[in-house]
Structure 1
Amino acid sequence: MAPHAEDGVNGSSGASSLDFTTFSNIIDGKLSSTSQTRHGINPATDKPNPEVPVSTPEDVDRAVEAAKKAAKSWANTSYADRRKAVLAFADGLEKEKDAFAQFLTKEQGKPLHWAYFELDFALSAIRTMAGLELPTDVVADEEGRKIIVRYTPLGTVVGIVPWNYPILLCVTKIAPAVVTGNPIIIKPSPFTPYGGLKLVELAQRYFPAGVVQGLSGDDNLGPWLTSHPGPAKISFTGSSATGKKVMASASKTLKRVTLELGGNDPAIILEDVNIKEVAAKVATLAFLNSGQICLALKRIFVHEKIFDEFRDAMVEHTKTLKLGEAHEEGVFLGPIQNSMQYERVKGFFGEIEKEKLNVAVGGKNPDGPGYFITPTIIDRPKEDSRLVVEEPFGPIVPLLSFSTDEEAITKANNTNYGLGASVWSSNLDRATKIAEQLEAGNIWINTHFELDIRAPYGGHKESGIGIEFGIGGLKSYCNSQTVYLKK
């Protein structure tokens, strides 16, 4: 699904039936409070958002026990009835779309039209996943025997959701887990807990108690959930460094894991492109969501024959991308979501003077409230520099050059990451030959970040383990069971 800024902006769903002033855990179908609370920050204003619970180990135990209690009856519910419940959940969310989008800007910071885009993508994702058919595979049907493969629920799932797309990445864990017969406990990011808690609260209208639960907390909550002996699977989206910790913790009880981790996506721009058109698209895809997308373009390799012209066209378009608060007219980039990430991204700016980097555009950040970072392009930094090797997860990108297709492939693959990559050319045969040699789980030609929920999505190398979306994504929430039937 391609990002389009106008998607959903005019959609109106009326007043919300959910209260977006108070936020609770949801355990066994009931709203649950805690003695200790905390709050997130509106990253555009530095002002505090409402208080949310800080869960305890006892809350985790209660949620796991409730999920265990719900698991058998939910697994025995027909696939058709589980699908109906998921689709009803999507319809319920659509009615609440305005309220979710408005609050998403307060907790995540993204411009309002991108908040609507996230809600629309989330709705499409739920409905698409509910529409997929989990098969029973017939391996053999011979004279004397039949062999079939069934896919049965794993049990309790924990969904750990990041802060960059907190609504979308929450529902893409809820929908496949519950449609395949598993209860799920959602742990939203401490930076963006609000939308996830309200999604789970909304889900209580459509699922039995214990099937969809939500726990808010601090940095202790994730390890309590991943090490708890009750859950059967952890679905985690976040950084590679944290993903390794999740995997280590889950390994103690041999939990299944799906890890969707970081990326350092390259774009290879061949010399035969329409320079102005492609430069505008590449700049948009690099700075979308203020660069806070695992699949954002983060290393841009341009053929040396067109390098200067392409750089100038990309700079020209970048200057049109407005930075500002969510409700400002025409704004494209919002703030960095949290102070920790803001300081990390500013660290890359701190190296501009130290490394004597050549700034093509940007380089200076605005004063005042909010975690705002000006979109910045660095012209040909050293290819072993931190900006090239690491994933900034912010609106600063290196522009690099190459002279041959083989050199471009080598440079693009020179990373520990392997989430996405794209090749841009008017010669599809040449572009395809290059694309087939790139080490990434998702490859695009003449576009980037177009996702289709029907297709598997995952990373190579340190960008993750397992896949989401598609039939393979559904199967990842199941045990495979081979049945040998002697006739």
Structure 2
Amino acid sequence: MEALESVNPISGDTIGYVNTTPLQSTTLMYEQARRAFQTWQNTSIKERLQYIRKLRHIIVEQLEDGIDIIHQDTGKPKVESITADLYTILDAIAYLEKHAEKILKTRKTKTPIAFIGKKSYTSYHPRGVVLVISPWNYPFQLAMNPVINAVIAGNCAILKPSEVTPLVGQWMESLFEQAGFPDHVIQVAHGGKEIGAKLVSEKPDYIFFTGSDRTGKIILQEAAKNLIPTSLELGGKDPMIVFKDAHIERAVNGALWGSLTNYGQVCMSVERIYVEKKIYEPFVVSLKRGLQNLKTELSDDADLGSMTFEQQLQVVQNHVSSAISKGATLYSGSHPKLNQNQGMKIEPIILTGVNHKMEVIQEETFGPVINVIPFENEEEAIKLANNSRYGLSSSVWSKDINKAKRVAGKLAAGSVLVNDVLVAIANPHLPFGGIKDSGIGRYHAAVGVTNFCHQKSIMVDSGFKKAEVNWYPYAGKLPPFIDFVNSWYGKRKKPIKMFSSYIQLLRKSK
């Protein structure tokens, strides 16, 4: 059996191996999941919550081990391992513990007046077997979240974690086992793109994919062949708009963190900073000074980690090289191609003189590259921010909250923050997702659970009447139907006449 090698991105040392899942075993995994689903779907939500509550307790008990595993597998600072990966999942579980029963409860809905005497309901039912394919940049958060939402909704889940961070995938598999989930309710398949493609071909009942837009489109094409519903949480090229009346020091600090947390390897990373011309020069000076003050040496309180995936480093190198060749200025940092001896820990870069004809502005860089562009006015800022095939997240910075909200309403993005960055995804009460090439669907909040269900609409009649007013025969029913519609939906409602017309229809139905 082949094994996935885990290499610490900072040191370059091999830190472990994880056995891959044989390709030929995927059919059996689905068969086991479908059998387990027959029982799991009939468990109460309270019973399902017991398992994720235990999961939460185990994660907390193993917190420091988890921090180390995520830190070593990804190269991100330990503080980011706990705040971005672990805390967000603990909070998501707490949200489900409090709200899942209410979210999935069958609820009564309104019934139109034409259907007097009937009652209407909406109920939620699990889809079956959910395939979750998760990425390497937040290997714990972006895998755990869809899995726990899927199983709380009554589905069984097959998780394919990233092969780039295999130790995190192995740890998650261990956590599910320790939490005592029934056999085959959650299964983990370890491996690369080959096993991912095989799992998609096995026709799951739902696919939840997080990753690049290129791969997401391939998955969507395959899913479409069998009309498999799919959620895609894809890339971004998030804009940050800084107006002259913003709290500049806060905006600079936000820009640094929003651009460089997880070394810029975040789908909501601030990759385009638009600064009003009157403050552009002092802003970039402060940005460079702030960058130079960040702590980079290896320690538990380091500010910056490293790149995680060697292929992504090549993308960063290409984008920077192309931008400089087209006139961009390397305002801070050094070209990553000149730092090959530093391995995956390249020096963060600030680029000025960039424009929308450059790859570094149009394509997702996913690395420690900060691009700063001046703008003249509000209209231009909105136009520049929306000039992208992506639309995941964005931010607006101004002390004039009304202006900031006005601009936020005009930005083409799934989420917008005012005087903050990125953190909308960490609020379990807010739906999260993108538009355009940033994806399809939403997760978190109530929709994060109901996405994994099909909704059933139910209308109930007592069954005592011999016939309905809209049934055969139609003879003599047209005039009272016209009176009914005119009386109820016309310019001036006439309830008495409407009821009179309805009574006529009832008599003609006997």
Structures share a fold, TM > 0.5? yes
Report matched runs for 1:159-170 at 5 Å.
Answer: 159-170=132-143
Post-superposition Cα deviations, 1:284-336, rounded to whole Å, max 9, x if no partner, equal 111111000001111000001111011111111111123344xx254211111
3-state SS, counterpart of residue 122 of structure 1: helix
Is residue 75 of structure 2 the alignment partner of residue 75 of structure 1? no
Q: Please say if residues 129 and 469 of structure 1, whose CA atoms lie closer than 8 Å, have aligned partners that are also in contact.
A: no
Counterpart amino acid of residue 90 in structure 1: R
Q: Aligned ranges for residues 90-109 of structure 1 at < 5 Å?
A: 90-109=56-75
Structure with bigger gyration radius: 2
User: What residue is the counterpart of 2:305 in the other structure?
Assistant: 334
Query: 2:451 matched to which residue of 1?
Result: 476
Task: Tell me the SS of whatever aligns to 2:275.
Answer: strand
Q: Using the alignment, how far apart are the partners of 1:414 and 1:482 within structure 2? A: 40
Q: Out of 89, 106, 128, which is 2:95 matched to?
A: 128
SS at 2:11 equivalent: coil
Map residues 391-406 of structure 1 onto 2, 5 A cutoff. Answer: 391-406=364-379
Task: Give the CA deviation at 1:368.
Answer: 3.1
Aligned residue in 2 for 1:323: 296
Partner SS, residue 345 of structure 2: coil
How far is 1:47 from its partner? Answer: 1.7
Q: Is the 8 A contact 2:126 2:153 kept in 1?
A: yes
Shift of 1:422: 0.7
Q: Which residue of 2 aligns with 1:462?
A: 437
5+ residue gaps, structure 1? 1-34
Compute the displacement of 1:41 (Å).
1.7
Given that 1:145 and 1:486 are in contact with CA atoms closer than 8 Å, whether structure 2 keeps it comes out as yes
Q: Would the aligned equivalents of 2:316 and 2:366 in 1 still touch at CA under 8 Å?
A: yes
Deviations 1:158-195 (A, max 9, x none): 11110000011111012101111001011010101221
In the TM superposition, 1:58-457 aligns within 5 A as 58-117=24-83, 118-132=85-99, 133-134=102-103, 135-140=105-110, 143-205=116-178, 206-229=180-203, 231-325=204-298, 328=299, 330-351=301-322, 353-365=324-336, 366-451=339-424, 452-457=427-432
Give the SS at the match of 1:337. Answer: coil
Partner of 1:50: 16
CA contact (8 A) 1:458 1:467 kept: yes
1:183-241 deviations in Å (ceiling 9; x for gaps): 10110101012212221222123210011110101220111111112x10111100111
Seen in structure 2, the aligned counterparts of structure 1 residues 207 and 68 have a Cα distance that, compared at 3 Å, is: same
Residues 396-443 of structure 1, C-alpha deviation per residue, up to 9 Å, x if partnerless? 021001111111101100001000011000001111111100000001
Aligned-partner residue type, residue 97 of structure 1: L
Once the 2 structures are TM-superposed, how far is the Cα of residue 280 of structure 1 from its aligned partner? 1.7
TM-score, with length taken from structure 2: 0.86
Instruction: Identify which range, 174-183 or 246-255, moves more after superposition.
Output: 246-255
* Distance apart, 1:342 and its partner CA: 1.3
Q: Is the 8 A contact 1:226 1:250 kept in 2?
A: yes
Quote the RMSD (CA, aligned, Å): 1.5
Structure 2 counterpart SS, 1:220: helix
SS of residue in 2 equivalent to 1:175: helix
CA distance in 2, matches of 1:168, 1:324: 26
Q: Once the 2 structures are TM-superposed, how far is the Cα of residue 138 of structure 1 from its aligned partner?
A: 1.7
Q: Secondary structure at the match of 2:193?
A: coil
Contact 1:129/1:454 (<8 A) preserved: no
Per-residue deviation, 1:380 = 2.5
Residues 158 and 130 of structure 1, relative CA distance in 2, 3 Å threshold = farther
What is the CA distance between 1:353 and its match in structure 2?
4.3
CA distance, structure 1, for counterparts of residue 89 and residue 157 of structure 2: 17
When normalised by structure 1's length, the TM-score is 0.89
Query: How far apart are 1:94 and its partner, in Å?
Result: 1.1
Q: Check 1:233–1:485 CA distance in 2 against 1; reply closer, same or farther (3 A cut).
A: same
For residues 178 and 329 of structure 1, the distance between their equivalents in structure 2, rounded to whole angstroms, comes to 35
Change (3 A) 1:352 1:414: closer
Question: What letter is aligned with 2:128?
Answer: G
Paired residues of 1:160 and 1:235 also in contact (CA < 8 A): yes
CA distance in 1, matches of 2:434, 2:461: 40
- Measure, in 2, the Cα distance between the counterparts of 1:297 and 1:430: 21
Tell me which residue corresponds to 1:11.
Answer: none
Q: Percent identity?
A: 29
CA distance in 2, matches of 1:322, 1:383: 32
Alpha-carbon distance, 1:389 to partner: 0.7
Name whichever of 212-221 and 139-148 sits farther off.
Answer: 139-148
Q: Does the CA contact (< 8 Å) of 2:17 and 2:166 recur in 1?
A: no
Q: Is the 8 A contact 1:41 1:338 kept in 2?
A: no
- Kindly provide the amino acid, as one letter, of the partner of residue 397 in structure 1: I
Q: Which stretch shows the higher mean deviation, 402-411 or 447-456?
A: 447-456
By relative contact order (CA 8 Å, sep 6+), the higher-ranking structure is: 1
**Rounded Cα–Cα distance in structure 2 between residues aligned with 1:235 and 1:473:** 11
Question: For the residues of structure 2 that align with 1:70 and 1:237, how far apart are their CA atoms?
Answer: 25
- Considering fraction of residues, name the structure with more helix: 2
| 1:18-33 correspondence runs (5 A) | none
In structure 1, distance between residues paired with 2:300 and 2:30: 45
- CA displacement at 1:82 relative to structure 2: 0.8
